Amino acid sequence: MSSIRVSHAGEIILTPPRLPSYLRAVHELKPIVGKPADEDVKAIHAVIRALGAVSHLPTFYNPDLSMQLSQYLFGVQMAVFRASYSMELLPGEKSVFIPPELPSHIPGALNQVVGAPSDEEIKLAQSALRNTENLAISPQLFDADLSMRLSQHFFNIQFAAGRFVPKTEPKESYPAASQPAHEIKEYSTITHELPNLHDEGRRSCPVPEVEQSPQELSEIAQLGEMIVKAIKEATSETKNVLESMNRVLTLIKQDQSTVGCTGEYYQVFKNPLNQQGVAASECGLPQLRYEYLNKGYRYHLWMSPDHTARYLKFFGIGDNLIHDGEEPKLIDGMGDEAGRLILAKLGVTRP
């Protein structure tokens, strides 16, 4: 589990999660003290890409580790941000976020962002980062340094979008004399300390509760909400892609057969999948076998009654054709009907 702590000297120490051996072979992540070096950040990105490459392999992919690496990267990028930009701005001051220069094969152009970014500036940075990451499968075009800098730039402007309102920015005041006495009860009183006005002391202004300034909200909480929303959207997209891939693989598997020919007879052997994606062989069933007669175009299931009953149970069909129990038994006289039902399940519907 990744962790963030502060040393006796006041430096932030970022500890990475423990990696499995196949990822340690890519990069060994070490604790980071103070401002992270470029090589440290690139190593984290490389490990995240390596883990993402096996997301379709349940034996290797670990969603908990993926989450921990994302949290660790967030802490590292926050440390880079704090070392590069002031968290306390004077009135009128704005941070300037300068993006890396894009090569000709990356579409689009990024300009420097001053203060809070617009939605269009965020979308342009996100698109450039996505296009760069898509080139990870092509070593000749992929640039790990560019990917790291784009990722940091995207983090910077996302953070700026959630917190870029200087704490010392003067707040709009509502003169107390302009508010009717009976309406003042509906407002809360917030005390403001104005800079460089020691002779005036503090001024109390009634402000509607529904218009409380963003400064009173936790900056980290705002950023956290943005990150959670982005992760949910990315997770939803990934889930849809994986579901589509699973459907395609299932259809490919179900269509695989071994065919033998003897004269006018063709024997077809299959190891089909059920609705849960479980292969028949995993349930101790023999290969499903049926015959095809070239003369007359007829299909016929070629299995014992016990195996036929077990296949009905395996597919979850034909409950009315079997005696249910620890070992399902086919009802007498139902062999032909059971055969047609199983063949129909395989997509074989001709007589």
C-alpha distances in Å from residue 114, one per residue of 85, 124, 276, 293, 318: 12, 15, 53, 76, 68
Instruction: Give dist(CA 152, CA 148) in Å, integer.
Output: 6
Q: What is the pLDDT along the chain (351 residues), one digit of tens a residue?
A: 556 665 555 677 889 998 888 888 778 888 888 889 999 999 999 999 988 888 888 777 888 999 999 999 999 999 898 888 877 766 667 888 999 999 988 888 899 999 889 999 999 999 999 999 988 888 888 899 999 999 999 999 988 887 644 444 444 544 544 444 444 444 444 443 434 444 444 444 454 444 444 554 565 566 566 667 767 766 766 666 676 666 556 656 555 667 776 666 677 888 888 887 788 888 888 888 877 776 655 677 878 888 888 888 888 888 888 887 778 888 888 888 888 888 888 877 655
Instruction: Give dist(CA 79, CA 72) in Å, integer.
Output: 11
Let me know: does 175 contact 187? Beta carbons within 8 Å: no
Q: What is the pLDDT of residue 126?
A: 92
* Domain assignments of the chain as residue spans, ordered by start: 3-166+218-246, 176-210, 257-345
Could you tell me the two tokens for 211? Answer: 């218009």
Does this model's pTM top 0.75? My answer is no
Q: What is the pLDDT of residue 73?
A: 93
